[in-house]
Structure formats: C-alpha cells, structure tokens
A and B are shown apart, each in its own frame.
Chain A
Amino acid sequence: MSEVQKKRRYGFFRWIVLALILIGIYAAFIGPSILKPVRPAIVLPPEAVWPGLEILGIPLTNTMLATLIADLILIWMALRVSRFVKSGAMVPSGVSNFFEAIFEFLWNAVDSSTGKWARRVIPLVATIFLLIFVANMVKLVPGFESIGYLEPPPKGTGYAPVPLFNIFGHTVYTLDSAQPVKLEAEAAASEGSESAHAEGEHEMCKACQVVPFLRGSATDLNFTIALAVIAVLMTQVYGVMALGPGYFGKFFQFGRLVNGGIFGVIDFGVGILELILEFAKILSFSFRLFGNVFGGAALLAIIGSLLPVILPAGLYLFEMLFGIIQAYVFYLLATVFISMAAVSHHSEETAEAH
C-alpha cells in the first residue's frame, strides 16, 4: 500500500518539474519580452538599500541587510535549540536535530585538531561556520539580487521600465529586455523597481538597472575581511592563552639572533616571515570566500541571462555545494591555524599533550 503511494508521489513531483521547465522555456523564448531575462549589471561594491537611507552616517547597504537576515535566522535557531536544551528531552527534532548534527560534525573536527583547547576554540569557529553557511544559503533564495529599485546605470546599456501593477498606491515596474536603451547623460536618479515600489513624485529613469534590496553577504569584501581579521586576531589571542607572552617569541627570535650564530640570523628572518604570513592569512581568508561567492553569483547571473532554462538549476545546486564547502574551508583553516598557534614551536611537551 505504502509502495503504491510512494510511486504516485514521485510521479507528481516529476510533472511539477516538467511544468516548471515548460514555463521557463515559454518565458525565455516564446512569451512576451517582459518575461525574458535582462542582462544583469555586475557591481563590485555593495549598494545602498535605498538612496539616502543612512544609519549614523553610514549607508545601509543591501549586503548588510542580507547579513542581518542571516543573523535573525541564526538567533531564531539558537532560541529553538536553547528551548530544547532547557526542556530536558533527549531526542531532538526539527531544527534542534539539524543543529545537533552540524554541531557534532564541527565538534569532532575541532576536538581532533585542537585537543584540550577544543572547548575554548569551538565558540569562535562554529560561529564563523554557521554565519557563513546561513548567509550562503540565504543568498540563494529567489528575490535576492533581482528585486530592488531602479536607477540609471553609470555606463553601458539600461532597459526601459514597464509598469506591471499597483500595490498600496505605488507602481511596480519590470524591465523590458526588448527595449535596451543606450545611456544618455541626462538620466536623473529616480526610483521604481523590478517588482517593488516606486515613488510617484520622482522622475522615472528612461534607461534603468535594478539595484537590489538584498545581495549575498559574502559578495561584499567588507564582510569577508571582517571575518578574516576576527579569525586571525583570535588566533593570536588563543596563542597567548596557550603559551603566555612567549607566544610572540615565534615572530621575534631575538635570543637566536644574539647567540645562534649564522643560523640564528636565518631563524630571525624566518620569524619575521611568519609575522608577514599572519597578514597574508587575512588576505587569503577574505579573498577566498569573496572570490568564490562573488564569482558564483556573477556566473549565475550571466548564465541565467544567456541560457535561462535548465542550466541555472544545476548551477544553483553547484552554488549550494560551494556555499557549504566555503563555510567548511573557512572554519577548517581557522581551526588549523588556531591549533598551530596553540602549540609551542620549541617545547615538544606541549605537542605531546594532544
């Protein structure tokens, strides 16, 4: 009986997928031109969510908004888990179960590489993992990078806006891919959007591009550099916690310079190189995450505008995998660097303790 039911459900989903593919083909190749994908504008710096919207003089950017959403999801998950822990039940379910699986996976890696420091290291690296993981997953929700207000592009080609429908007195616009407009210098800043509100008193732009309300957090270099600086600074903190002030002897080996002879000089140079390496870590941490996520987003946007039928679905799956892998790589590298910092260079007994 159950087998029959299973079979029918499988068939049901198959028809949904087929229908979606057919709708996609209709929208991309056959249907009216407003359904066709518009070539997106790829912009490196994050844009302000709304022109002139500032908090304490700093514009609220779309990547900041996306990070806040990821934070809210994480806080909600944490509240659910803390409620479960307080309830005293033994078998987790739903979000708690998911959280337990992730945490067990993280704990095993941290425990095996940092040994006795694991209980102090895991709050930092697990937080970094969860934030990057959730931010990378949230970024893939449809509506990210496609809903926003309209603005004339700084250069190149914009598209003519077409009014779709009214909502609460505001007109919602979409971009018509059949009407590319070469940019004129007179285009004034104005608002509207691809499926979002427009304010009537502003002058509409003739050639527009969408400035999205939400953009993936890691497509902003500020986000990744902040995480990298935190990770590298905390590496030094854990090193000092484990070894005391003598930790910095790793970088400035004055003792070897004085009484080590020619090899002492070489050791001193190696110490200075290690100091430079710490700064290189910030660079490699931040650019790895940023490059992967930004490259993935640009790839999705461009492939989506060139061949919008079946390929983007596969790329979305790819992006999901890469979101997890990049979070894992960031977390793993932070763990390994911290465990290397917590082990003394000279005395072998600290290493033996693991």
Chain B
Amino acid sequence: MNDPQAFITGLKLLGAGLAMIGAIGAGVGVGIAASGGVQAMGRNPDAAPIIQTNMILGMAFAEAVAIYALAVALIIIFAAG
C-alpha cells in the first residue's frame, strides 16, 4: 500500500484476469457445437459439408463472447487509465 501505482497496476491485472472468466461460457459453447456437429456428421456423412459450415458458424458466434472478454481484458491492461 506504500506504492499506489503498484497497487493500481495489481488491481488492473486482477481485473483483466477476472474478465477472462467469460471465456468459460465460450469454451462450453464451442464444445457443445463441436459435439453436436460430429454426432450429426457421424449419423449422416453425406450432409457433412453443410453441417461443417453451420458448425463453424455456431462456433464463431460462441467464440465471440470469449473474444469480447479478451478485448475487455486487453483494454484494461493496455488502454484504461
């Protein structure tokens, strides 16, 4: 507590780490999408291209949440005050 600048830096790093908790949801979402996609492809291999496209699309949307968390973390570390 003697060095307020170090205290602020520490809190910033802590906040950035906490922001990345948001990646949990994205991880679960991407896993569910991959699981569903692979199951569907296993049942109907002929439809694999369509399923793959939609699976990657869904994964991209799920992953976007983690990317938002990453952006928040980066802003906290590099840009905020």
Point out residues on A near B: beta carbons under 8 Å.
43-44, 109, 284, 287-288, 290-292, 294-295, 325, 328-329, 332-333, 336
Contacts and interface: CB of A to CB of B under 8 A. Distances in A.
Interface stretch (B10-18, B31-39, B63-71): B63-71
B70 A295 contact: yes
Contacts of B57: 329, 332-333, 336
B71 A329 contact: no
Contact of B53 (A290, A295, A332): A332
Interface in B2-58: 53, 56-57
B71 A332 contact: no
A40 to B, nearest CB: 14
Contacts of B78: 43-44
A170 to B, nearest CB: 32
Contact of A291 (B53, B56, B71, B79): B71
Contact of A44 (B53, B63, B66, B74): B74
Q: What is the predominant secondary structure among interface residues of chain B facing chain A?
A: helix
Q: Lowest 6 CB-CB distances: which A-B pairs, in order? A: A291-B67, A44-B78, A329-B60, A291-B70, A287-B71, A284-B64
B67 A288 contact: yes
Contacts of B64: 284, 287-288
A62 to B, nearest CB: 17
B53 A109 contact: yes
A25 B24 CA distance: 35
Contact of B63 (A288, A294, A328): A288
